[in-house]
Amino acid sequence: MSKAETRGKTDQAKIAMSEEEWRSKLTPEQFYVTREHGTERAFSHPYYEEKDAGLYRCVCCGAPVFSSETKFDSGTGWPSFYAPANRGAVSEHDDRSFFMRRTEVRCAECDAHLGHVFPDGPKKPTGARYCINGVALQLDKDAKPAKGGK
Ligand SMILES: [Zn+2]
């Protein structure tokens, strides 16, 4: 478990379920990543090289969190985006676990841990690299991709 502090405003998650409820709803790997702040192995999830259009939904609650429109190949082995699906789709938190200072990214709806954001993304348009666990996402190919916004 990492200690994460909420930055600035109080962005309370809108969906609250008990650990038991999440455990019964998710696969063990989904639970480990999203509810226990785990990280999948690089190149382990096919979404890192997924090119199809659509909306990436939170695997826990179905909220659209990322979009094929802002996805890029970072070469890291994790799905990478330069912006969330829309403003307010994710929340960002200071994460000081493992003696590093990183910014954790969570689903704004249910607080699922999705990954981290780093300032070394493509300079245009945002410079951000959202490094996201594929197991935390569900690609909805029927949904119209969002332009993305931050
Ligand atoms: Zn969610």
Ligand 1 centre to CA of 108 (Å) is 7
Whether 131 is catalytic is yes
Q: How much distance in Å is there from the Cα of 114 to the middle of ligand 1?
A: 9
Among residues 54, 44, 26, the alpha carbon closest in space to that of 139 is found at: 54
The Å distance, Cα 107 to ligand 1 centre, comes to: 5
- For residue 150, the model assigns a pLDDT of 67
Q: Along the 150 residues of the chain, how does pLDDT read in single tens digits?
A: 444 444 444 556 678 899 999 999 999 999 999 999 999 999 999 999 999 999 999 999 999 999 999 999 999 999 999 999 999 999 999 999 888 899 999 999 999 999 999 999 999 899 999 999 999 999 999 999 998 876
Point out the catalytic residue in the list 60, 61, 107, 131: 131
Q: Amino acid identity of 132? A: I
Q: How far is the CA of 106 from the centre of ligand 1 (A)?
A: 8
Distance 25 CA to ligand 1 centre (A): 13
Task: Tell me what pLDDT residue 12 has.
Answer: 64
Residue 97, pLDDT score: 86
The CA distance from 101 to 50, in Å, is: 29
Beta carbons of 90 and 114 less than 8 angstroms apart: yes
Write down the pLDDT at residue 44.
97
What pLDDT, on the 0 to 100 scale, is given for residue 99? 85
* SS3 assignment for 7-22: CCCCCCCCCCCCHHHH
- Put simply, whether the predicted model's pTM sits higher than 0.85 gets the answer yes
| Per-residue pLDDT at 18 | 92
Tell how far CA 110 is from the center of its chain. 12
Helix (H, G, I), strand (E, B) or coil at 116: strand
Measured on CA atoms in the order 21, 116, 65, 145, is the torsion positive or negative? Answer: negative
